[in-house]
Structure 1
Amino acid sequence: MPPNPTDYDAASETAGGPGTLDGMKRLWTPGWIARHVAMVVLVVGFLGLGWWQVTRAASGNTLSFGYAIEWPVFAGFVIFVWWREVRHTLRGTRGDRSSPAPPASAGSAPTATTLGVRRPVRVNRVPVPADGAQDGDLAAYNRYLTWLNANPGAKPGDYPG
């Protein structure tokens, strides 16, 4: 019986798609092997600590009942994060392959649909006098800085003005 086209994922049968050996090779890089090993070590360790707390709780330590629940929750969280990262890696590269970015020409202006991160612009909210006159405090501070620059060995307390 052929698969139902409404719920069939043809992307899993394309070369390098999720579920194929080419797609799974991305999860066998040295970085991913370290992640797999870390996940197994953490889950086994957290479940072992949970069992240890169960035995302590059975011997009469009532505080250990909370820890007996907490450690398996930690193990579940590690599995959740690992699974989410695996799915993200497998789905992210498939989306990147299916829609390659169009090449940008040298003189083309960005289109209205181009999304990007823009740097914030600092706006001076203090009005600057139109005649170019400076604020009195600012002028005094600039004179002080000029004096400090002219007298490198002087202390700020030596300033005459």
Structure 2
Amino acid sequence: MLVVVAFVACLGLAWWQWTRFESTDGTGQNLGYALQWPAFAAFVVYAYRRFVVLESDPEEVAKLDPATRGATEIRPDVLPPRPAARTGAVDKVDEVDDDASPEDRAHAEYNRYLSELARRDAR
């Protein structure tokens, strides 16, 4: 019953928006809504039908279960490689080449500043 009411309401709203579009102050927005409401009505019917099928057919429910499909493995070449872990003293990590960008230089300077603060707190 709810599906019928929702279907009729959507079609009624589509008709109302169509009449608003045809009026003298109608806009393209009214036309857009007039075309969208029938799609909503169709979706209500589709969703109800799908619900009924899933309630009555266990094979359809089994198709949706991720366990029956198995795990999906991601190929190693899909994701970019992780950066290698940096090792060494804190001062060597912050060294920057002469041709580094200004952002890299600022980042290295900030890291040196944080390292100095950490050393002061350790004393």
**Shorter-chain TM-score range:** 0.3 to 0.5
TM-score (norm 2): 0.46
Bigger helix fraction: 2
TM-score (norm 1): 0.38
